[in-house]
Amino acid sequence: MSAHEELVPSREEILRATDRPLPRSLFVACLTLAAIGILVFIIGAFTESGHDRVWQALHVNWLFFATVSQAGIVFVAVQRITTARWSRPIVRFLEGYVAFLPIAFLLLIVDFLGAKHIYPWATQQLVEPEKQLYLNPFFLIGRDLLIFGGMSLMSLWYIYRSVRLDVGLSPESGAAWARGIRERMRRNFRDERREIHSTHSMQGKLAVWMTLGFGYLYSVLGWDLSMSLDLHYVSTLYSWWWFMGAWLGALMSWSLLCMWWRRYLNIYDLIKEVKFHDLGKLCFAFTAFWGYFTFGQYLVNWYGNMGEETHWQRLRLIQPYLAFGMAVVFLMFVLPFFGLVSRAAKVYLPTFIGFALCSLVGLWLLRYLEVYPNIYGVTPTLTFGVWEVGVTLGFLGMWGASYAAFMNAFPRMRVTLMTSPYRDEVQVPVNAETMEPLPAHE
C-alpha cells in the first residue's frame, strides 16, 4: 500500500464501531425542552404580555431552524453533484437534518395561523397594486406552503434513497420505531453494484433540482417570510444574503456534530484530523462569502442614501438594537473570519468549537433582528425575555429529538460507499439497467 492510500475498515468493522445507541437521557432532555417551549407558547398566547411575542418568537426560531435544516440537505446534494468522496464518513451526520423538515412544515402552518401577530400584510391595507397582488394572504401562504413542502419532499426522498443503500446491505439494527421503514427499504433491493449505480443516477437528477430550488424558491421564501416584514424595504441581494446565512449555519453546526459524534462513538480512526481541516476551510470560505453579501448590501444602501433603503440598516444600528446588530457583525464575520484563517485554528478543536458557536449564536441574533425591529420600531428597551427564551428552548428540543431519532434508526455512516468494491465506479456514470458506460453527452 502506497503512502497516499488510506486503509479502509471493513463494512462490519464500521457498523460495529458506529452502532452505540444514543443515551435515553438525551431524548428525555430534548423532549423536556420541547415540552417547556410548547408550554411557554401556550401560556404566552393567553397572556397579555406574551400574546404577540410568542408568535414572533416562533417566527424567529422557524427562520433559524428550518432554513439551517434545509441548507444542510442541499449541501448533501451538492456533494452528489460534485461526486465528492472526502465527505463520505461524515455526511450522514448532516443527512439527519432532514428529520426536522416535516416538523418545520407543520410549524409553518402554525406560523401562518398567527399571521396577524407577525406580518404587516395581514393587518395593514396595502396601497400599491403590485403589493396587493404579491402579498395577498391566500397567494402568499399558498405558494410558501407549496415551496417549503415541495423542497421537504424532495429532501426526504433524497435522504431515503441514500439511507436505503446502507440499510439494504447491513444487518438489522437500530431503533424499533423505524423497523418497518427499514423493512420497506430492503424490499426489491437488488445486487450491490446495480443499487449503487441506480441510486447514484437518481440522486444526481434530484440533487440538481434541489440546488436550483434552494437558490430560486428559497429566494421567494426570503422575500415572503423575512423581507416582507418591512413593507417599505426592498433589496435585490436580500434573498441571497438570507439563505446563505442558513448555509453557513448548516456548515458550522455540522462541524460541531462531527466533533461530538467522533468523541461519543470513539471513532478517531474513521474521522481523522484532515476532515476538520476540510470543514474549517468550508466554514472560513462561506463566512467570507456571507460577509461579502452583507457588506455589499450595506454599501449599496449607504452610497445610495435613500430613506426607503437606509432606514432598515439604521434601525438595527441604533438603540435598543445596537448591541445585537454589532454582535452579529462580530460573531458571524469578524471572529470566525480572522479566527479560522490559520490551519491550526481549524484542527485544534476547542478553537473551532468556539468560532462555530459564535457563528450560530450570531445567526440566531440575525434572525431576531430580521423580525423584531420591523414590528416594534424604535423602542426604549429591547423586546427580549422569557417568551423568546422559552420558545427557543422548545425549538432546540424538537430539533434535537428529531435528529437523535433519525441517527438512532439508521446507519451513522455511508458504509456502502466507504467499503464497496464498486464505490468509485460512480465517477464514470453507467446505465443502471445494463451497467454499460453512458456516452459522454449523457
pLDDT tens digits, one per residue of 35-68 = 999 999 999 999 998 999 999 999 999 999 999 9
**pLDDT score for 423:** 86
At residue 374, what is the residue type? Answer: N
> What span, in angstroms and rounded, lies between the C-alpha atoms of 15 and 414?
10
The set of residues, in sequence order, having a beta carbon less than 8 Å from that of 163 and lying 6+ positions away, is: 95, 185, 410, 411
Q: What is the pLDDT of residues 325-360, one digit of tens each?
A: 999 999 999 999 999 999 999 999 999 999 999 999
Average pLDDT over the chain reads 94
> What span, in angstroms and rounded, lies between the C-alpha atoms of 39 and 283?
36
Ramachandran category for residue 38: left, alpha or beta (phi over 0 → left; psi -120 to 50 → alpha) = alpha
Q: What is the pLDDT of residues 286-302, one digit of tens each?
A: 999 999 999 999 998 89
**pLDDT score for 4:** 43
**pLDDT score for 441:** 45
**pLDDT score for 439:** 67
Strand partners, 437: 430
pLDDT at 3 over 70: no
Q: What is the pLDDT of residues 95-132, one digit of tens each?
A: 999 999 999 999 999 999 999 999 999 999 998 899 99
**pLDDT score for 233:** 93
Give the global pTM.
0.95
**pLDDT score for 32:** 98
Query: pLDDT class for 436, splitting at 50, 70, 90?
Result: confident
Query: pLDDT class for 259, splitting at 50, 70, 90?
Result: very high
Of 338, 354, 347, 358, whose CA–CA distance to 280 is shortest? 347
Q: What average pLDDT does this structure show over 312-335?
A: 97
**pLDDT score for 430:** 72
**pLDDT score for 1:** 43
Taken as a whole, the chain contains a residue count of 442
Burial letters for 274-283: b for 16+ Cβ neighbours within 10 Å, e otherwise?
ebbebbbebb
User: What percent of the chain lies above the pLDDT cut of 90?
Assistant: 86
User: In which element (H, E) is residue 337 found?
Assistant: helix 335-339
**pLDDT score for 6:** 57
> What span, in angstroms and rounded, lies between the C-alpha atoms of 403 and 192?
28
Of 268, 264, 226, whose CA–CA distance to 245 is shortest? 226
Give the range among 101-105, 163-167, 428-432 with minimum mean pLDDT.
Answer: 428-432
pLDDT at 378 over 50: yes
User: In which element (H, E) is residue 275 found?
Assistant: helix 273-304
